[in-house]
Chain A
Amino acid sequence: MVLRALWMITSVWLFLLVFSVGWGQQRIVSQTTVTGVSRAFNPAISVNALLLGMTQLETGEGSHGETAPEESADHTPGPLEGSDEHAHESLDEETAHEAHGHSLGTEGLFVQEVEVRFTAFADPHVKADLTLSMHGAEGVELEEGYVQTLGLPANLLVRGGKFLVPFGKHNPLHTHEFPFVEPPLVHERLFGEEGLNEVGIEVSWLTPLPWYAEVGGALLNGDNPSLFDLERGLAYSGRVRNFFDWNETTTLELGLSGAFQRQEGRGWSRALGADWTVKWTPLETARHRAAVFQAEVVSGKDREGHSLFGGYGLVRVRLGRPWWVQGGFDWLGEEAFRSRARFALVFAPTEFQAIRFQYSVAWTSGEEVEADHRVAVQYNVTIGSHPAHAY
């Protein structure tokens, strides 16, 4: 209990730090205003919006094509239906439908997400990052809000606040950075729609090994719809990330991740992951060619004690400056086995906007419906300060 109170105080303190300390400045724009108050210390602001149009195609017998989300859920029973009595009370029809990876509904035009990001140095010692997101066209929530140290000794970096937990390659991505419209099946099932996004403190260490090897661990408040239970207190996560330059154009990244929380009477709920990425970028940047091969597997046990295993593999090829083609396969094995193949064509005329055309087909073992075909068009636009891109 004391630990918990201490924890709450720390979190509150971190947030106050984000808001109270004067925002640092990133660009040199030093003009005073009529009021005599300088705006030079405003944080860098960028806004990203994701618009989505989606439709379900004819799926053969048993489907009516133009189904609304509720009806569709009737036709494609969730994999958890008919499983043992633990089958989440909370997992109503809609959630079962979500587990299909189509939580956005099946038809229509949506504002998938709007994200507002503020970044600034708080003072010479920490940098603060705040991301507010609006899912759909509704309420605002804190997607990420953390402070991060600059230049601690011993190659350490400490981050505190609310953040996307560094688990594998997919979880740390914001929605607009996803390679496809939806997250992989296993991520959506094990971490929920928002991903593994927790309040906590993370420490990471850059090892002195002759290649890039980073080891990190975090203490988390353990609040997740599927993996963690807020009642159970602290959760833990860890990540090892290795990065090798194969040659000047090709890189290899290998990672291991884990997240755990002790559940009463059921041992530990856990997620264990391994990821593998090969990236090829030719030195002659004129033609803007690139290729990415990535795979990630996750084995998990949710807070109710259900074991599951899943993963994804994807290939992304940049054909020329604005064009990317990509294909991916993802699966989730539980009581039922679900899998999905997705293909997408991305047109990105500048760094600040992209349009993605996606076709996906999903299968569930033991269902009458043979396959679920969908097409989606997603539009992604960024305004404001120039964002830096992670590799």
Chain B
Amino acid sequence: MRRYWWYRAAGVILALLPALGAEALVRVVTTTPDLAALAREVGGEQVEVTAIVNGLQDPHYVEAKPTHIRRLNRADLLIYNGMELEIGWLPLLIEGSRNPRLLPGSLGLMDASEAVEVKLEVPQGEVDRSQGDVHPLGNPHYLLDPRNGVQVARAIAERLGQIDPDHQKSYLARAERFAEEMAERIARWERETEVLRGLEVIAYHRTWSYLSAWLGFHVVGYFEEKPGIPPGPRHLAILESLVRSRGVQVALAAHYNPLRGLEAFARRAGIRLVVLPASVEAREDVRSYPELFDRIVLTLREAFGEGS
């Protein structure tokens, strides 16, 4: 009879444990779904992660909805992409959040771009808006190189460990495991895309600079005349002659670019329009950071395999 009582008590405690655990979760808010995916990889069961930007949206054009202010109000950690990607909307959300944990310089505010060692397209010399919507700190689409994703995941694990020292070891261990798995995958993706090395493509926006630097293909022209400036007819004509003279076969676009106009151009110029997911959650089957590159690599192989 006595033993039976012990079993029951243990059962009750076990049933309550998840509830206790839920209380202690670290609440992480990220701006983009990519950062959310990385935070989930290293945070595991100890964190609750939400992203502000939906996978279908272009992170350049998000609005500072007060709903996000409520989310930030409760957050223990805000991870943002940085390099001025979110400059049009994030400052207002942070100010409105009234959350002392997210003050500039606090542990709770993390600029993920600080973990990235090699930043591309950092403008040299003077920058002004005659160059379009140029990012003075460099191209912010660094998570489209998986090696940067690994660096960022490590940095997130370190930051989580500082905020929640009880679980520091498990964050760092998960980041290490993620890095190892990614190293294998990266080697495989590189093998699978060897055919792309040295190929020339055109693209809508400077979204793919990190991806092309990693995989070794070249983006030789852009639909956008300057970053953020939609193409005019004169620029399209120049682009078309560029495509013909260099024998470009493929135009790359992100899922959130204006695809209808691009398709029309591709038909006219006789090239293939290849739409790549530019972030996690861009498609139903892209739910995690590795799946994003699985899909990108698969799409590129199909495009170049048939195109050449």
* Tier of interface size on chain B: 35 or more
Q: Which residues of B contact A243 (CB under 8 A)?
A: 65-67
Contacts A150-B95, A151-B99, A286-B256 given; indicate if A386 touches B70 (C-beta within 8 A).
no
Q: Which residues of A contact B133 (CB under 8 A)?
A: 350-351
Contact A245 B67, beta carbon cutoff 8 Å = yes
In A118-160, which residues have CB < 8 Å from any B CB? 121, 124, 127, 148, 150-153, 155-157
The answer to whether A386 and B88 touch across the interface, beta carbons within 8 angstroms, is: yes
Give Cα A254–Cα B63 distance, bound, in whole angstroms: 18
Mask of A163-183 contacts with B, CB within 8 angstroms, 1/0: 000000000000000000000
Q: Is B303 an interface residue when CB atoms closer than 8 A count as contact?
A: no
- Residue picked from A156, A212, A352, most chain B C-beta under 10 Å: A212
Q: Please state if B102 and A151 are interface contacts (CB–CB under 8 Å).
A: yes
Can you pick out 24 interface pairs between chain A and chain B where the beta carbons lie within 8 Å of each other?
Answer: A27-B136, A124-B104, A151-B99, A151-B101, A151-B103, A152-B98, A152-B100, A206-B69, A212-B69, A243-B65, A245-B65, A253-B66, A285-B57, A285-B256, A287-B258, A321-B258, A350-B229, A351-B88, A388-B64, A388-B87, A388-B89, A388-B90, A389-B92, A390-B92
Residues 237-276 of chain A, each 1 if its beta carbon lies under 8 Å from chain B, else 0: 0000101010010010100000000000000000000000
Cα(A187)–Cα(B92), bound, Å: 26
CB neighbours (8 Å) of A121 from chain B are 104
Q: Name the distance in Å between A319's Cβ and chain B's nearest Cβ.
A: 13
| Contact (A124, B137) CB under 8 Å given A248-B54, A388-B87, A391-B63 | no
Question: Do residues B56 and A157 form an inter-chain contact, with CB atoms below 8 A?
Answer: no
The reply on A8 being an interface residue by CB < 8 A is no
Residue B198 at the A interface, CB < 8 A? no
**Partner-A contacts on B (CB < 8 A):** 54, 56-58, 61, 63-67, 69-70, 73, 84, 87-92, 95-96, 98-105, 129, 133, 136-137, 228-230, 256-259
Residues of A within 8 A of B137 (CB): 27-28
User: Which 6 A-B residue pairings sit nearest by Cβ, starting from the closest?
Assistant: A151-B100, A243-B66, A212-B66, A283-B56, A285-B58, A286-B258
Contacts A245-B67, A285-B57 given; indicate if A350 touches B228 (C-beta within 8 A). Answer: yes
A127 B230 Cβ-Cβ under 8 A: no
Q: Which residues of A contact B70 (CB under 8 A)?
A: 206, 211-212
Q: Please give, as numbers and ranges, the residues of chain A lying within 8 Å of B66 by CB-CB distance.
A: 212, 214, 241, 243, 253, 391
Cβ–Cβ < 8 Å partners of B129 in chain A: 352, 383
For A, the interface residue count at a CB cutoff of 8 angstroms equals 43
| Chain B residues, Cβ within 8 Å of A27 | 136-137
Q: A124-B103, A245-B67, A287-B258 are in contact. Are A156 and B92 (CB under 8 A)?
A: no
Per-residue 0/1 for A312-332: is the Cβ within 8 Å of any B Cβ (1 yes, 0 no)?
000000000110000000000
Cβ–Cβ < 8 Å partners of B230 in chain A: 321-322
B64: contacting residue among A148, A206, A391, CB under 8 A: A391
Partner of B67, one of A155, A251, A288, A352: A251
- A387 to B98 Cα, complex, angstroms: 20
Chain A residue with Cβ nearest B261: A286
A231 within 8 A of B: no
Q: Which of A28, A148, A285 contacts B61 (CB 8 A)?
A: A285
- For the A-B complex with A150-B100, A211-B70, A350-B133 known, give 15 more contacts whose Cβ atoms are closer than 8 Å: A27-B137, A121-B104, A124-B104, A151-B103, A155-B73, A155-B98, A214-B66, A285-B56, A285-B58, A285-B61, A288-B61, A351-B133, A352-B129, A389-B89, A390-B64
Whether the Cβ atoms of B56 and A284 lie closer than 8 Å is yes
Q: CB-CB < 8 A to A59: which residues of B? A: none
Interface residues in A356-391 (C-beta closer than 8 Å to B): 383, 386-391
User: Does A281 sit at the interface, judged by CB under 8 A?
Assistant: yes
Is there contact, CB below 8 Å, between B88 and A391?
Answer: no
| Nearest Cβ on chain A to B251's Cβ, whole angstroms | 15
Inter-chain CA distance A123–B202, complex, in Å, is 46
Q: Which chain A residues (272-312) contact chain B, with CB distance < 8 Å?
A: 281, 283-288
What's the Cα separation between A284 and B54 when bound, in Å?
10
Known: A155-B73, A251-B65, A391-B64. A127 touches B88 (CB 8 A): no
Q: Contacts A124-B105, A283-B56, A285-B57; is A212 near B67 (CB within 8 Å)?
A: yes
Residue in chain B with minimal CB distance to A152 = B98
In the bound complex, residues from chain B placing their C-beta under 8 Å from that of A153 are 100
Residue from A28, A206, A211 with most neighbouring chain B CB atoms (10 Å): A206
* Cα A284 to Cα B255 with chains together (Å): 9
Shortest beta-carbon distance, A338 to chain B, in Å?
34
Tell me which of A127, A155, A386 contacts B95 (CB under 8 A): A127
